[in-house]
């Protein structure tokens, strides 16, 4: 039986993997929260990985606050770049296959067409740049790895766009949502299944993968879909936001071409 360690187990993806873990009885899962295993400390990683035998490590740990990454870039790089390098060094030493989750934000959004795994990266915010640095550590130092880029993740867990829109609509609030960013919303449960199937299938297609649910929407279009799915479209007013500004720049078109 293969043992699989999941870091960042309290996040959306970590909880989504835990939810379906029983469907994979041939795998032994160990779920580690940030308090169980701090990826910014190589000593913490070594303690966990040297004391137990793992075949795979799924890294769901990340600093994902796009806005605060601009204000506190050292925090983003500490987790998304330095922390990943720590995992790489220990996984390589222990012959563990690393499955690392990355983001559409490694691209600048100027292509105007879905991004291929071979397209040149060019992040336009600190979050994207820190995630790209983590990818580069993996590519430069490892051979047996999967970098799985995804986008606009949502689930029943944690804070995400889907839950926010649904909750505000239930409360009867009018909604104002931007229409000038295009991407592919992806359910964390589907991403969890994809990642676990890489393990079950004993895939050797190492390198960068793109996984999304495939549908191309703006944030406004996604909000529209959420309201329709939940029978709330006629109960609240949804309008396109004008002159909405954020501290961090975001790619206008960050659709990923599925490469799986």
Q: Is residue 249 exposed (0-12), middle (13-18) or buried (19+ Cβ within 10 Å)?
A: middle
Assigned token pair, 118: 């071979």
Q: Which of 105, 115, 127, 145 is catalytic?
A: 127
Residues whose CB falls within 8 Å of the CB of residue 59, separated by 6 or more in sequence, listed in order: 7, 8, 39, 84, 87, 98, 99, 100, 101
Instruction: Please tell me the distance from the alpha carbon of residue 22 to that of residue 24, in angstroms, as a whole number.
Output: 5
Q: Report the distance separating Cα 208 and Cα 105, nearest Å.
A: 14
**Does the annotation mark 145 as catalytic?**
no
C-alpha closest to that of 98 among 63, 139, 41: 139
Cβ 69 vs Cβ 75: under 8 Å? yes
Residues classed as catalytic:
127
């Amino acid at each position: 039986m293969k043992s699989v360690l999941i870091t960042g187990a309290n996040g959306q993806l970590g909880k989504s993997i835990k939810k379906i873990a029983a469907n994979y009885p041939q795998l032994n899962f160990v779920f580690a929260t940030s308090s169980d295993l701090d990826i910014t400390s190589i000593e913490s990683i070594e303690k966990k990985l040297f004391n137990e035998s793992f075949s795979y490590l799924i890294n769901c740990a990340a600093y994902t606050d796009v806005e605060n990454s601009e204000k506190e870039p050292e925090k983003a790089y500490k987790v998304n770049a330095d922390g990943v390098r720590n995992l790489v060094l220990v996984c390589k030493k222990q012959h563990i296959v690393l499955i690392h989750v990355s983001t559409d934000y490694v691209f600048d959004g100027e292509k105007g067409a879905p991004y291929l795994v071979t397209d040149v990266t060019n992040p336009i915010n600190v979050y994207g740049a820190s995630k790209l640095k983590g990818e580069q550590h993996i590519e430069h130092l490892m051979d047996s790895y999967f970098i799985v880029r995804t986008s606009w993740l949502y689930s029943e867990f944690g804070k995400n766009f889907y839950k926010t829109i649904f909750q505000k609509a239930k409360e009867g609030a009018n909604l104002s949502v931007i229409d000038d960013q295009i991407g592919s919303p992806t359910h964390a449960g589907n991403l969890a299944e994809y990642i676990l199937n890489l393990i079950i299938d004993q895939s050797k297609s190492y390198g960068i993968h793109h996984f999304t649910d495939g549908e191309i929407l703006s944030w406004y279009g996604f909000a529209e879909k959420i309201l329709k799915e939940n029978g709330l479209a006629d109960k609240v007013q949804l309008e396109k936001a004008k002159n909405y500004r954020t501290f961090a720049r975001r790619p206008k078109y960050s659709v990923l071409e599925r490469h799986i």
